[in-house]
Structure 1
Amino acid sequence: MLEISGLTKTFGDRIVLDGVSLSVARGQTVCLLGPSGSGKSTLLRCVNWLETPDQGAIYLSGERMGIRKGGVVPMGNGELARLRMRMGTVFQHFNLWPHMSVLQNIIEAPIHVQKRRRDEVIAEAEALLENVGLSDKRDAFPSRLSGGQKQRVGIARALAMKPELLLFDEPTSALDPELVGEVIAVMKTLSQGGSTMLVVTHEMGFARETADKVVLMDAGRIVEEGEPEVFFGRPKTERARQFLQRYVSA
C-alpha cells in the first residue's frame, strides 16, 4: 500500500529525516515509536505532503508521488488534491471547524471535494457517527464536545473520504488520560476491520496489542522494526532496549 524509500528532509542545517525507508502492506497497522524530535511526525507529514521531502521516493499503491532521485518534482494543486483524497489524516489537535456541527464537519469534504451526492454522504456520515459512538452528537458543535469526542469526530471525518490509507499523528497526546481509552478503542476496531494505518503514538499498550509492525525512530533514522512481540520482548538493538526501559517502565 505504502512504500517509502530513502526519504530525507532538512530544516536549515538540521537533518530531520535521514534516508528513511519503510513499507506498509495493505491491511497492516504500523506504529511509529520514538522520543520527541526523532522525526516521526515529520515522516507522516511528508507522506501526505504537508511537508515537502528533499529526496527519496514515496509510492501509494504502486504510484510514485512527486519525487524523483536527486530532488523534488513539485506537484500541481490537482495532483496534490488527488493524492490527499486517497489518504485520511487524524491530527493531534483535532482541527475541526468550530462554526460547523459534527455532521457538517464530516460531510463537508466528501460533498465539496469529491462531489458526491449530499443525501448519500449524510447517510454514510450518520453510520460513521454510530460506529464511533457519537450518534447523539450529530448536531452539536465542537465547543460542546470533550477532547475524546472531538478526536472520534476527527476519525469519522477522515473515514468519510473512504481513504486507502489512514495516518494518525499522535491522536491521543492532547487528551486527558481518562479520555484516551475511547479513542484507542475506535482505532483498534479499525485495525481489526482491515484498515491500513500508519500511526505515530506514545501509547505502548496500543502498539503492543494492535500493531502488525512496530518501528522505532531516533535522530531521523529507523533504528529497529519488527513484530510487536519481538520488539517488546526481545529487542535487537541497544537503543531499543534503552527506549523500552524508559518508556515502558515509566
Structure 2
Amino acid sequence: MTDDMAVLDVAGISKRFGALEVLSDISFTVTRGETVCVLGASGSGKSTLLRCINWLERPDAGQIYLNGERIGINNGGVVMSDRELSRVRTRIGMVFQHFALWPHLTVLQNLMEAPVQVQKRPVAKVREEAMALLAKVGLSDKSDAFPARLSGGQKQRVGIARALAMKPDVLLFDEPTSALDPELVGEVLVVMRELAREGRTMVIVTHEMGFARDAATRILFLDRGHVVETGPPERFFVNPDTERARQFIQRYAAG
C-alpha cells in the first residue's frame, strides 16, 4: 500500500436514534500515516461516528471501507455476522474513554488475550511483543498488576498498548483523556504524540485542543452531526473557513 491510498474510507454515513439525527451524510478518507482529530462541541456526533466506523453502532446509511474492504456488509450484500465483524475489528484498534480493561486479568494478560485467542498467534511471540509495548508506554513494571491497582492514566496507557497489540490498520481514540484527572492527562498525550510522530494511522476524538493543534495532520470539525469544516490544523486554528468553527475555537481553544 502506498502512503496516499485510503486506509479508511467513510462515505455518506448517517445515523439516527429515534427522531434525533446524530450523523448526517458524513464522508472523509484517512490515508496511511495520517492523524485525523475529530473536534466539535458535546453532542455533535463525534463518538457515534467512531462507533459507526467499527460497527459498534450500525449506520442507517452509507458505507465504510477499511483498505478497500467494506465493513459491516459482506460481499453478498448481507450484514456481517458477529464472527465476521469480530474478524474485521481485529484490524481496527479502539481506545475507549473509560479504558474497558478486563478487571480479572493482569496488565500483561490484557494485552495478550486477543492476539492469542482471536488471532491465534504464538504465545511466546505475543508475550515478547506485549512486553515491548508496555515498555513503549512506560509500564514495564506493571505487567503483573491488575487494573484496579492502576491510576487512570496508567489504565489508559494499557488500553493504548492493548490496541497496538493487535497490529491494527487504524487506531480509533474516543476521548481518551476525558475520564482522567487533569494531572494524568499529560502522560497519555505523550504516548499519543509519539504514535503520531511514528506515522500511525489514527482517528482521534478529543477535547484537547493543544494536542490537536500540534499532532494532527488534519482536523475534522463536526457540528450537530454535519462535517462543517476539514483541513490542516494550522489553517483551522488560525484562519478557519466558517463562522461556526471560529466560534468553537474562541470558546474552546483560546490561548
TM-score normalized with structure 1 length? 0.97
* Aligned ranges 1:1-40 → 2 under 5 Å: 1-40=7-46
Q: CA deviation at 1:60?
A: 0.7
* Separation in structure 2 between the aligned mates of residue 15 and residue 26 of structure 1, nearest angstrom: 30
* Aligned ranges 1:69-148 → 2 under 5 Å: 73-148=78-153
**Structure 1: stretches of 5+ with no match in the other structure:** none
* Aligned ranges 1:214-225 → 2 under 5 Å: 214-225=219-230
1:103-154 CA-to-partner distances (Å, cap 9, x unmatched) read 0111011000001111110000000000000000010111110000000000
**Aligned pair partner of 2:51 in 45, 50, 67:** 45
Amino acid in the other structure paired with 1:12: G
* Separation in structure 2 between the aligned mates of residue 140 and residue 76 of structure 1, nearest angstrom: 35
* Separation in structure 2 between the aligned mates of residue 124 and residue 86 of structure 1, nearest angstrom: 17
Q: Is the CA contact 1:66–1:74 (under 8 Å) kept in the aligned structure 2?
A: yes
Amino acid in the other structure paired with 1:118: V
**Structure 2: stretches of 5+ with no match in the other structure:** 1-6
Q: Is the CA contact 1:58–1:67 (under 8 Å) kept in the aligned structure 2?
A: no
* Aligned ranges 1:218-237 → 2 under 5 Å: 218-237=223-242
Count of aligned residue pairs for this structure pair = 247
* Paired residue secondary structure (1:30): strand
Correspondence for 1:208: 213
* Separation in structure 2 between the aligned mates of residue 66 and residue 204 of structure 1, nearest angstrom: 32
Amino acid in the other structure paired with 1:82: R
Q: Is the CA contact 1:56–1:67 (under 8 Å) kept in the aligned structure 2?
A: no
Q: Does 1:171 align with 2:173?
A: no
Q: CA deviation at 1:11?
A: 0.3
* Separation in structure 2 between the aligned mates of residue 74 and residue 62 of structure 1, nearest angstrom: 17
Q: Does 1:183 align with 2:188?
A: yes
Q: CA deviation at 1:77?
A: 2.1
* Separation in structure 2 between the aligned mates of residue 171 and residue 73 of structure 1, nearest angstrom: 33
1:20-41 CA-to-partner distances (Å, cap 9, x unmatched) read 0011111100000000110000
- Root-mean-square deviation (Å): 1.2
Q: Is the CA contact 1:55–1:67 (under 8 Å) kept in the aligned structure 2?
A: no
1:135-191 CA-to-partner distances (Å, cap 9, x unmatched) read 000101111100000000000000000000000000000000110010000001111
TM-score normalized with structure 2 length? 0.95
Identity %: 65
Q: Does 1:199 align with 2:219?
A: no
Q: CA deviation at 1:249?
A: 2.2
* Separation in structure 1 between the aligned mates of residue 140 and residue 148 of structure 2, nearest angstrom: 17
Q: CA deviation at 1:66?
A: 2.9
Q: CA deviation at 1:247?
A: 0.4
Amino acid in the other structure paired with 1:122: R
* Separation in structure 1 between the aligned mates of residue 135 and residue 57 of structure 2, nearest angstrom: 34
Q: CA deviation at 1:67?
A: 4.6
1:70-105 CA-to-partner distances (Å, cap 9, x unmatched) read xx8411123201110111000000011111110011
